[in-house]
Every structure is written in C-alpha cells, then in structure tokens.
Amino acid sequence: MIKIGIVGYGNLGRGVECAVLHSQDMELTGVFTRRNPKSVKTHSDVPVYSMDKVYDMKDQIDVLVLCGGSANDLPKQTVELAEYFNVVDSFDTHAKIPEHFANVDEASKKNKHISIISVGWDPGLFSLNRLYGQAILPQGHDYTFWGKGVSQGHSDAIRRIDEVKDARQYTIPVEAALQSVRNGENPTLVTRQKHTRECFVVAEEGADLQRIEEEIKTMPNYFADYDTTVHFISEAELLRDHQGIPHGGVVLRSGTTGFEQENKHVIEYKLTLDSNPEFTSSVLVAYARAAHRMYQEGQHGCKTVFDIAPAYLHPESGDELRKKLL
C-alpha cells in the first residue's frame, strides 16, 4: 500500500481524501493543516495533524499531496517539503512554472526525493495533449478552450463590486469557433471569439443594477474583452442552482500531413467535469502513484507530467496493461 499524506484540507484536499479511499493500492496516513487540527473534520476517520508534525511522520508517508493555493502556499510549501518528502502539487501559475520547477528540483535533489509539480488538467492533462499534438503533427495549430465552467477568479472579481452580495461566473466556449477548429479551418481567433462570460449576481436590496452590470462588463482584463451576460438572481436561486463547481474544456491540434500538406487531421481532447476540484484531485492521486514507483526505482528531482511514462499512473502491471489496454 502506498501511504499518502494530504497537506491542506479545502476542496482539493477533500477530493484527494476521496480519491485515495477509492484506490485499492493506497492508504491515507493523515491530513496536515495550519489550522487548529481539532477544528478540521475529515470525511473518513483519517487523523488530522498540525502542519509542524509532518516532519515527525516522515517514515509513515510515501508521498505528500500538496493541496494549497498557487499564489501564496505552494511556492514556499512545495520547496520546503520536497527536501524531506516525495511530493505532488498542482501549481498552476503558468508563467511561474520554470522558476517553481528550478526551486523544487534543487530541494528534491538534496535528499534524492522525487517531486511532480503542476499536476491537474491545465496545467496537466491539457499540457500533455498539447505536447502529444505538436509532436505528432508538427505542421499545425494549437487551440485551447475552457468551460463551460465556474471561474473562481472571475466570480471573486464580481463580488468585489459595490452592492454585490454574491456571484458566480461561467466561462463558455463559443460553439462556432470550436466548430471551425474541428473542421480544420485553422481560424485566427481573438479573445472575444473564443469564449463568452455569463454572470449570476445577487445584489443587495435597492442596489443600482444598471451600474453593477456596467461595472462588470467594462472591467479590464476580466470582462472588457468578452461578450458578457449578466443575470440578477436571488440568493435562494444562487444557492439552489449554482452550488456545483463544474468545469472542463477542449484542447485541439489541427495539422496537416502529405508532401503537399494536402491531408488534414484534427486531434481533440475534451473534458466535461461535474467537479473541478475532485477531478484535479484524481489526477494528483494518479501522479502520486507514479512518484512513489519512480522513487522506488531510484529516480529523483523535480518532474512534470511530461516526464512521467504513462504506465506509472495505472495500478496494474506492464503485462496486464499490454494485454488489456494496448
């Protein structure tokens, strides 16, 4: 059994707990939190420890799955823990990945541990499909669409507007753009042509709805470059209809082959997810399995999804995989 520790117990940590419980070759050692451990109630009866206890339990943990945020937690936490543990994180600030990789790689190598960073679906599975697509069809174009799904950052941005009580924002791919890519037309698409934004807003009583709508639609970076729809709804409706955290998206590689580039090919990878954090957690747990196996083989240093042979992710042996899945 692979012994897993969870660092941080929000949506992602809870998802990892759930995924480990459903994995036959894994067991949970504990959850580690910076909060008061007594205030954290896990779903299963896995014990909760204070974060500073984690180093005492080094020998009871094969892989730590780090479930903190990319902005404030992981840049420091992954580096600190990678020195003493095999770790997997979901660091998703694309622009800072090279820096994070270098820091974690240095830490991991001190005691020959293995770390896998930026695991999830984007970065993660979507990145994999961008790589496979370019490697197989070097003459071609990449497209990534996100949604339909809840964007936490955009929802938060709306909540910061005056007289807004709560809000939920959905990112939605433009179907016509998707279809054009699927047809191999290789369109050049500006921001507005790729995604629309739909907002469900609970305003305070007597609020100036027109002003709120205007503030949303003209907000730079978040909404100004998109066609945005704003719906004002009641708090009860928000609770009833918008509590899920669905997401997903599509990665496409549209390319050509042939001596005259006369043959078109489209590779499409599409995710439709009821729960963004639970799916991301499931990816993290599969890569925790890989981290453990690669560590047992003596591999060390920082890796990403690009460096992990697929067979490491699946509980069955190479023989079984060749027989059943190849």
Binding residues for NADP(+): 9-12, 33-35, 67-70, 90-92, 119-123
Q: Cβ closer to its own copies: 51 or 245?
A: 245
Site membership for its own copies, residue 40 (CB under 8 A) = no
Write the CB contacts of 227 (distance below 8 Å, at least 6 apart in sequence).
Answer: 192, 196, 197
Q: Cβ closer to its own copies: 132 or 232?
A: 132
Binder of its own copies out of 131, 209, 224, 239 (CB under 8 A)? 131
Site membership for its own copies, residue 23 (CB under 8 A) = yes
The least CB distance from residue 80 to its own copies, in Å, is 21
Block residue for tokens 């807003």: 201
Binder of its own copies out of 19, 31, 46, 203 (CB under 8 A)? 19
Site membership for its own copies, residue 63 (CB under 8 A) = no
Q: Cβ closer to its own copies: 86 or 228?
A: 86
Site membership for its own copies, residue 259 (CB under 8 A) = yes
Binder of its own copies out of 60, 234, 272, 296 (CB under 8 A)? 272
Q: Cβ closer to its own copies: 32 or 269?
A: 269
The least CB distance from residue 213 to its own copies, in Å, is 32
Compute CA distances 224 → 80, 159, 213, 227, whole Å: 39, 17, 12, 8
Site membership for its own copies, residue 146 (CB under 8 A) = no
Q: What is the 3-state secondary structure (H, E, C) of 277-317?
A: HHHHHHHHHHHHHHHHHHHHCCCCEEECHHHCCHHHHCCCC
Binder of its own copies out of 8, 74, 130, 203 (CB under 8 A)? 130
Q: How many residues lie near its own copies (CB under 8 A)?
A: 69
Amino acid at 217: K
Site membership for its own copies, residue 1 (CB under 8 A) = no
Residues annotated within the binding site are: 9-12, 33-35, 67-70, 90-92, 119-123, 146, 171, 197, 247, 276
Block residue for tokens 């995710």: 271
Site membership for its own copies, residue 282 (CB under 8 A) = yes
> What token pair was written down for 104?
């974690």
Residues within the interface to its own copies (CB under 8 A): 15, 18-19, 21-23, 43, 94, 97-98, 101, 118, 123, 125, 127-128, 130-132, 134-139, 182, 184, 257-259, 262-275, 278-279, 281-283, 286, 289, 304-311, 313-315, 318-319, 321-323, 325-326
